[in-house]
Chains A and B, each alone.
Chain A
Amino acid sequence: MPGVWVIAENSNYTLELLSKGLEIANELNEKLVAFSFGNEELANDYISCGADEVFVLPALNRELPFEAYVPLIVAEAKKEMPEAIIVCATQRGTELASRVAAGLNTGLATGCISVRVDKGNLVMERLVFGGAAVQTVICTTRPQMAAIPPGTYEKAQPREDRRGQIKVVAGNVETKVKVVERRKKEQEEIDLTEAKIIVSVGRGFEKQEDISLARELARLLGGEVGCTRPIAEELHWLPEERYMGISGKKVKPDLYIGLGVSGQVQHVTGIRDAKIIMAVNTDENAPIFDAADYGIVGNLYDVVPKLMTEIKAALNK
């Protein structure tokens, strides 16, 4: 049986894919195969969480990146001819999936927002045009491949009665790409996706210090501060965990307040699931007003203090 393969760069993401993989493997009537990288102990965890078979690949030398596994995975896939390969779409996962797909001359849908099975095909939905549209694709070649972002599924839970096979894949992991340095970044503890209220900072803010205005509003409402991509990536005014959009966080707060945010589709895509969207922008034609329930046309430096006064009065704070 060729199987459904799930591949992720760490064990948490592998467990997420196993829960979806189990469903897909059942519908396709295939065995479920997980990959463990240099760790045989994890193989047993994966089996108790649903894998019928686990391929254990050799451990990496420290100077090799995860993507170095591409040739081994391609070689293995050519032998086994899996029916489907599901990869966790971290950045490394996306590169790995693309190169494996190229090596196998097959199709791959990256950044899938949903995957289901219909008549033996994975039906994969993904966003295009910066999030303005949803494209549904199927793969006409085999293996069919999907890359799904981390956090899309709950982790699979272990069960007592599970049995499976472990296969140790031998071989040299070789690549011309060597890691010469790793500079870990301080990870913030906040999870914007859990916030009930988000005050979002856009380029309408003139200086970094002015973000205190957004912080005060957020504090008053018991919310968190988020931002657009340029605020985080170009200006480095806020950490990258805080930007929302097609390439950032997808959030679902009760209330999103955009301050000086133009509302281009790449950003709006990340806030589509907000219950209420409110925005302050000087430009009455800014696209954010089409995406907002309540829009205030005005200067944020003038509107935010007034807004806080009104909120304090209304909430008796």
Chain B
Amino acid sequence: MLKIIVCFKWVIDEADIKVSGKSRELDLSRVAYKISDYDRNAIEEAVRLQEQLGGSVVAVTVGPPTAKQSLKDALSRGPEKAVFVSDPAFDSLEPAQTAAILAEVITKNLEYDLIICGEGSSDLYAQQVGPRLAEKLGIPCATYVEKIIIKDKELIAERKMRDGIEVVSMPLPALVTVMPTINTPRIPSLKQVLGAAKKPVVNLSAKDLEGKYEPCLKTTSLLAATMERKRIKFTDDPQDIRKVVDALLKEGVIS
């Protein structure tokens, strides 16, 4: 029986970010939130392994109290229990803090054979929390994994590297970070969505943590990456298309 922990993050949907005027400041007033894209693959992989091999899946997230909304979404995807570690100060954690908090929470509260994280979060894309967590827990890890096979107490993982595939093996317990290509996350059914509300959630707050977890990084500025473009739209009729070609000629980019 395999005990799996999957770590997911509740993030701003970057497609909703607007820029306020010329100042390049981010306007986050109308943003929606979502489960970080690749964490949906992480949850899916945990649930698939459990379906194959038996065992349990616990989903863990660290965030501000507003991230409570994420729990139903996460649980509707298959895990049977969630652990929610929240504090108002947890809305801008950096990877060192997140990993350290996860390490304390997991060590004190959960048994595990396998921990699954995403390759990187959609907001910070630091690609740090997974490997940092493994290091804190003193367990082996494999990053950028595209395929997982478990035999007895051994994990075989195919890592997708830029220059090819590297297949590694390691004893459990272990941690993997998964690529989006590992699976296609299922869309929860209505029954699963309704069932999610009944699943148990363990709520923990900063007061339940022993560590202080000060940040190691300080953000000195956060500005929109803007781009000046002409934004001229044309239709698909031949005259319009000719205008586009003329414009490209005039810009000197085709010859």
Contacts and interface: CB of A to CB of B under 8 A. Distances in A.
B236 A91 contact: no
Contacts of B126: 110-111
A289 B217 CA distance: 36
Interface string B148-187: 0000000010010111111111110010000111000000
B169 to A, nearest CB: 5
A25 to B, nearest CB: 22
Interface in B111-126: 122-126
A231 to B, nearest CB: 12
Q: Which of A90, A134, A221, A302 has the most CB of B within 10 A?
A: A134
B151 to A, nearest CB: 12
B217 A107 contact: yes
Given A101-B132, A177-B142, A179-B166, A310 B231 contact: no
Contact of A290 (B167, B229, B245): B229
Interface stretch (B12-20, B78-86, B200-208): B12-20
A268 to B, nearest CB: 8
Given A139-B217, A181-B167, A294-B248, A310 B181 contact: no
B30 to A, nearest CB: 14
B240 interface: yes
Given A133-B17, A272-B225, A315-B255, A94 B124 contact: no
Contacts of B190: none
Contacts of B96: 101-102, 105-108
Contacts of B95: 98, 108
Contacts of B236: 296-299, 302-303, 306
B44 to A, nearest CB: 14
Contacts of B253: 197, 254-255, 275-276
A295 B234 contact: yes
B128 A108 contact: yes
A128 B17 CA distance: 12
Interface stretch (A165-173, A182-190, A206-214): A182-190
B186 to A, nearest CB: 16
Contacts of B133: 102
Contacts, number: 251
Contacts of A176: 140, 170-171, 174
A60 interface: no
Contacts of A182: 164-167
B223 A107 contact: no
A246 interface: yes
A135 B15 contact: no
Contacts of A127: 125, 225
A247 B181 CA distance: 14
A314 B128 contact: no
A140 B216 contact: yes
Interface string B224-255: 11010111111110101110111111011111
A104 B61 CA distance: 24
A180 B229 contact: no
Interface string A238-274: 0010000011000000110000000011001100100
Contacts of B241: 296, 303, 306-307, 310
Contact of B143 (A91, A141, A240, A276): A91
Interface string A210-235: 00000000000100000000000110
Given A92-B161, A134-B225, A177-B168, A139 B123 contact: no
Contacts of A102: 96, 99, 131-133, 135-136
Given A98-B95, A134-B222, A141-B216, 8 more contacts: A95-B127, A133-B17, A254-B253, A255-B253, A296-B233, A296-B244, A311-B245, A314-B246
Closest 8 CB pairs between A and B?
A107-B216, A298-B236, A102-B135, A102-B132, A185-B164, A129-B14, A98-B131, A181-B167
19 contacts: A91-B159, A94-B131, A94-B143, A95-B131, A98-B128, A101-B128, A103-B135, A130-B122, A136-B220, A137-B217, A272-B227, A275-B251, A276-B251, A293-B229, A294-B234, A296-B241, A303-B236, A310-B245, A315-B255
Interface of A: 65, 70, 90-92, 94-95, 98-99, 101-103, 105-111, 123, 127-141, 175-185, 187, 197, 221, 233-234, 240, 246-247, 254-255, 264-265, 268-269, 272, 275-278, 284, 287, 289-299, 302-303, 306-307, 309-311, 314-315
